[in-house]
Amino acid sequence: MSLILGLESSCDDSAAAIVGSDRRILAHAVVGQNAAHQPYGGVVPEIAARAHVEILPGLIRRVIDEAGVEVAQIDAIAATAGPGLIGGVMVALLAGKGLALATGKPLIAVNHLEGHALSPRLVDPDLDFPYLLLLVSGGHCQLLEVAGVGRYKRLATTIDDAVGEAFDKAAKLLGLDYPGGPALEALASEGDPAAVPLPRPLLGSPEPHFSFAGLKSAVQRAVASGQHRPADIAASFQAAVIDCLVDRTARALETSDAPALVVAGGVAANRAIRAAMAGLAERNARCFSVPPAWLCTDNAAMIAWAGAERLAAGLTDPLDAPARARWPLDDAAERVRGAGVKA
Ligand code: KG4
Ligand code: ZN
């Protein structure tokens, strides 16, 4: 059994955790920065990076104390090395390098997306490779075949906005605070999902790619019309997103033999999305796995766990491992051309 310290600071959550290779979560702590970013309606990279510098060291102290371990008992340091806001990424990565240097223990430079991708295996010991993964977060919306640690084949991605980004933009249009996903979900529960006709971009198209920009514009028009209750717009938006996620994932399932369907990333905290994807798995005779909500949104337990999986596979990193703003899980995947494809 080995103990892994995980560190995360790639967006607006500072997090530290200590996880065992036997799947025990000895301690984990997350401190968000919503209040600092709320006045701007989104994450301000410079503010986030400075906050990580202030918050992260105290969180490392806290999880070591809560776990009741000595620093010397930790077997490896796993730190997110990208992708993300580069100023933030550098904070956890450099903290991890300092600890690795001081303790002589190996450094594991973790891809944040691999943290999300492997997170279901931390709590579901029966989830074996391969599985089809719907990765839905603030920065990504992808379908990936996960063949093993470090082995990802991207089947689809978004041609414009990520799904979490769409939730956040729709929420902003509805006057909800950042981050809008959880607030929009709460408002949607009071509305009628059939009240506002909204588009389902790319529904039925042969490649399982996603698109959400048109949906966001339609929400903008629905809000501006003044004809609908905000709760009805929220519920209709969420229903449209779910139709897209289910249709696109169903398309990918047609070409995948993977016995399990898995959903991970911040948007997988959404209860309606979890239920819809569970139904899709059942209709297609696949096992279904989704982590608890706290493990879907950004945290360091998933980074520590990805570290445990990589350590077990003999994958550690040198102290000059780079911090990377962009770091696709599948390097071979082609850029998808769309209306507003991002770098
Ligand atoms: O994985 P995550 O915490 O950070 C990234 O790596 O991006 O995902 C954050 C995203 C945000 O866009 C947030 O609004 C969305 O996940 N989110 C949700 C819910 N909880 C978080 N979206 C819809 N419903 C939720 N309950
Ligand atoms: Zn994330």
> In this predicted model, what pLDDT tens digit does every residue of 224-253 receive, in sequence order?
999 999 999 999 999 999 999 999 999 999
- Mutational pocket test of ligand 1: of 163, 167, 168, the residue with most ligand atoms within 8 Å of the beta carbon: 167
Q: Give the per-residue pLDDT at 256.
A: 96
Distance 297 CA to ligand 2 centre (A): 6
Beta strand residue intervals within 162-239, DSSP E: none
Please state the pTM of the whole predicted model. 0.96
Distance 106 CA to ligand 1 centre (A): 31
Q: Give the per-residue pLDDT at 334.
A: 83
The verdict on the CB of residue 298 being under 6 Å from ligand 1 is: yes
Q: What is the mean pLDDT of residues 6-29?
A: 98
Q: What is the mean pLDDT of residues 84-99?
A: 98
Q: What is the mean pLDDT of residues 72-94?
A: 98
Is pLDDT of 5 > 80?
yes
Residue of 335, 321, 336, 337 lying closest to 110 (CA atoms): 321
The verdict on the CB of residue 179 being under 6 Å from ligand 1 is: yes
| Residues 267 and 297: beta-carbon distance below 8 Å | no
What integer best gives the mean pLDDT of the chain?
Answer: 96
| 13 CA: nearest ligand 1 atom | 3
Distance 267 CA to ligand 1 centre (A): 4
The verdict on the CB of residue 168 being under 6 Å from ligand 1 is: yes
By DSSP bridging, strand 76-82 and strand 3-8 are: parallel
Distance 139 CA to ligand 1 centre (A): 9
Please state, as a whole number, how many other Cβ atoms lie within 10 Å of the Cβ of residue 334: 8
Neighbours of ion ligand 2 (CB under 5 A): 137, 298
Q: Is 20 helix (H, G, I), strand (E, B) or coil?
A: strand
Structural domains of the chain sorted by starting position, each given as residue range(s) with its CATH number in brackets = 3-117+295-312 (3.30.420.40), 129-290 (3.30.420.40)
Q: Give the per-residue pLDDT at 341.
A: 46
Q: Report the nearest-CA residue for atom 14 of ligand 1.
A: 181
| 162 CA: nearest ligand 1 atom | 12
Distance 328 CA to ligand 1 centre (A): 19
Confidence tier at 261 by pLDDT (50, 70, 90): very high
| Residues 17 and 299: beta-carbon distance below 8 Å | yes
The rounded distance, in Å, linking the Cα atoms of 254 and 165 is 27
